[in-house]
Amino acid sequence: MPAGAASDRLPFMKMHGLGNDFVVIDLRGGVQAPSVEAIRRIGDRHFGVGFDQLALISNDAEAAASLVFYNPDGSISAACGNATRCIARHLMDESGLSTLSLRTERGILQCEAVGADLVRVNMGLPQLDWIDVPLSEAMDTLHLPIEGDPVATGMGNPHCTFFVDSVEGVDLKSFGSRHEHHPLFPRRTNVEIVEVRSPSQIRLRIWERGTGITLASGSCSCAAAVAAARRGLTDRKVEVLVDGGRLEIDWRDDGVWMTGPTAHVFDGVFTSEFLDGN
pLDDT (0 to 100) of residue 1: 39
pLDDT (0 to 100) of residue 5: 42
What is the pTM for the complete model shown? Answer: 0.92
Q: What is the pLDDT of residues 141-150, one digit of tens each?
A: 999 999 999 9
Exposure string for 119-141, b = 16+ CB within 10 A, e = fewer: bbbbbbbbbbebeebbbeeeeeb
Please report, rounded to a whole number, the percentage of residues in the chain having pLDDT higher than 70: 97
Same domain, 114 and 195: no
Mean pLDDT of the residues in the chain:
95
pLDDT (0 to 100) of residue 115: 82
Same domain, 107 and 181: no
- 270: domain CATH number? 3.10.310.10
145 lies in some domain: no
131 lies in some domain: no
Task: Please give the residue range of the domain that contains residue 224.
Answer: 151-253
Same domain, 111 and 37: yes
pLDDT above 50 for 270? yes
Rounded to whole angstroms, what are the CA distances from 119 to 21, 196, 257, 258, 262?
Answer: 16, 25, 10, 8, 7
pLDDT (0 to 100) of residue 3: 40
Same domain, 158 and 115: no
